[in-house]
Amino acid sequence: MSQKIQIFDTTLRDGEQVPGCQLSTDEKIIVARELELLGVDIIEAGFPISSPGDFLSVIEISKAVKEPVVCALTRSKKDDIDVAGEALRYAKRGRIHTGIGSSDIHIKHKFNTTREKVLEQGVWAVQYAKSKGVEVEFFAEDSGRADLAFLAQMVEAVIAAGADVVNIPDTTGYCLPELYGKRIKYLYEHVSNIHKAVISVHCHNDLGLATANTIAGLANGARQAEVTINGIGERAGNTSLEEVAMIIKTHKDLGLHTNIKSERIYAMSQLVSDLMRMPVQPNKAIVGANAFAHSSGIHQDGFLKNSENYEIINPDEVGVPCSSIVLTARSGRAALKHRMELLGYQTTKAELDVLYENFLVVADEKKKVEDEDLIALAAQMPILV
C-alpha cells in the first residue's frame, strides 16, 4: 500500500532567510493561505524569538490557516521555547521545532562543548517544549556529517524524551544520495524506539543534491520531507517542494504519495518568486520558463508527433498553461510549419523550403523568432498573403 509523505514547507522560515527575500506579515499570510490550498501538511511559519516581526507572523499565520500544522523554530534554549509556545497559542495544531548540533564540527566549533552536553541539552529542550502542550520536532543539526553511532544515540534519547518527529538535516548539503539514504537506514536499524516518531529529511543544495538526497531518505523510511517553494533557502537553497512532489507522483514505483494538489504548483511558484523578488532560473525543473519549452529541431519534430516523446509530465498537471515550441536557428521545418498553421498560413513543401531559408536568416540575427517576424516573412511571399 502507498505510504503518505508529510510535506513540511519551510519557505517562510529557511526560505525567508535568503538575503533580500524578507516578507511582511501580510505577505506571509498570503503565502501561508496558498500553501494550505496547495495541500502542505506543515507550515514552518518562522523563528519567533529572532524578531518581533517573526513572532507576529507566527501568531497571524496560526490564525489564518486551519488544516496545516503551524510550526515555530527554536534553539534548545528556554527563552526561545517560551516565545515559540506563546506565538503558537492560536494554532489549531502547533509544533515547536527545537534542536541542537549533532556533528563533532558543530559540537566543538559552534558550541565549544561535548557530545554528552549537547545530548543532555537536546533531551531537556524536547521535554521543555513538550510542556507547552504542542507537538515537538527535534532537529539534529548537521546530521549529514555527524558520527553515525552518536546520531543514533541522540535520536533514541530525544524520542524517549517525547519527540514526535525527528529531523535529520543535511545542513551543509554535504552528503551523496547513497550516503544520506544509508544514514536513514542505519537509524531504522539501530534506534530501538524509532517507530514512535516520524523521521524527517531536510536537505540543503550546496552540491546540487538536495532533491536526490531527500528522495534517498524517503526511499529508506523517512516519512516527512522538509522543502521550500522554488528550492529557495540558505546559500544554494533547500530541497524544492515541486521537485519532490512531482518525483513522488511520477515514480509510482516508490510506493509513496503526498497531499499536494500538483495543478497549483506553478501559480504557487510564481507567487513566491514575485513576493520575494527572486526570479526562478529558466531551466529550473518543473517551474522554470523552459521546463516545457522545446527548441531544437529534433526535439520539436518528436514533440509534435507525440508530446510523450519529450515530456514526462503533462504541463496541465503542474498548472503550466501549455508547452511551448521556441523558434530559433536550431528549429526545423516541422516546427516552422506548425507555427505557420497556428497563425493561419498553409504552406506547400516548396513554399516552406523558401520560407525556411528566410526564417534561418532572421533566426541567426534575433536568436528567438517571434510571431510578428513570421508574419513579416509571410508578407514578403505573395503566395502566402
Q: Candidates 7-15, 71-79, 130-138, 241-249 — which segment interacts with Zn ion by CB under 5 A? A: 7-15
What are the cell numbers at 217? 531518505
Instruction: Tell me which of 95, 106, 130, 202 binds ligand KIV, using CB under 6 A.
Output: 202
Residues that bind Zn ion (rule: CB under 5 A) add up to a total of 1
Closest CB 83 distance from ligand KIV, rounded Å: 16
Closest CB 59 distance from ligand KIV, rounded Å: 21
Q: Candidates 12-20, 85-93, 94-102, 173-181 — which segment interacts with Zn ion by CB under 5 A? A: 12-20
**Residue 2: Cβ-neighbour burial (10 angstroms; 0-12, 13-18, 19+):** exposed
Fill in the DSSP letter of residue 325: E
Closest CB 313 distance from ligand KIV, rounded Å: 28
Q: How many CA atoms lie within 13 A of 3 on its CB side?
A: 13
- For helices 297-305 and 333-342, the axis angle rounded to 10 degrees is 60
Dist. CA 55–CA 139, nearest whole Å: 20
Residues that bind ligand KIV (rule: CB under 6 A) add up to a total of 9
Dist. CA 217–CA 263, nearest whole Å: 25
**Does the protein bind Zn ion through residue 135 (CB under 5 A)?**
no
Return the one option of Zn ion, ligand KIV, none that residue 128 interacts with (CB less than 5 to 8 A, by type).
none
Provide the pairing of β-strand 3-4 with 256-257.
Answer: parallel
Instruction: Tell me which of 139, 292, 345, 359 binds ligand KIV, using CB under 6 A.
Output: 139
**Residue 20: Cβ-neighbour burial (10 angstroms; 0-12, 13-18, 19+):** exposed
Closest CB 359 distance from ligand KIV, rounded Å: 50
Instruction: Tell me which of 9, 12, 14, 241 binds ligand KIV, using CB under 6 A.
Output: 14
Closest CB 65 distance from Zn ion, rounded Å: 22
Dist. CA 32–CA 117, nearest whole Å: 37
Is residue 286 within 8 A of residue 270, CB to CB? The reply is no
Return the one option of ligand KIV, Zn ion, none that residue 139 interacts with (CB less than 5 to 8 A, by type).
ligand KIV
Going from the C-alpha of 43 to that of each of 4, 20, 95, 331, the distances in angstroms are: 17, 21, 10, 44
Going from the C-alpha of 190 to that of each of 164, 215, 246, the distances in angstroms are: 18, 21, 31
Site for ligand KIV in 141-180 (CB under 6 A): 141, 167, 169, 171
> Residue with the closest Cβ to Zn ion?
14
Closest CB 67 distance from ligand KIV, rounded Å: 23
Site for ligand KIV in 64-83 (CB under 6 A): 73
H or E element that contains 197: none
Return the one option of Zn ion, ligand KIV, none that residue 141 interacts with (CB less than 5 to 8 A, by type).
ligand KIV
Q: Candidates 8-16, 260-268, 286-294, 317-325 — which segment interacts with Zn ion by CB under 5 A? A: 8-16
Is residue 187 within 8 A of residue 163, CB to CB? The reply is no
Return the one option of Zn ion, ligand KIV, none that residue 137 interacts with (CB less than 5 to 8 A, by type).
none
Closest CB 35 distance from Zn ion, rounded Å: 17
**Does the protein bind Zn ion through residue 14 (CB under 5 A)?**
yes
What are the cell numbers at 45? 511559519
CA dihedral sign of residues 70, 153, 175, 246: negative
Sequence letter at residue 86:
E
Dist. CA 44–CA 25, nearest whole Å: 14
Closest CB 24 distance from ligand KIV, rounded Å: 22
Q: Decide whether 85 or 169 has the Cβ nearer to ligand KIV.
A: 169
Q: Residues interacting with ligand KIV, by CB under 6 A?
A: 14, 73, 139, 141, 167, 169, 171, 202, 204
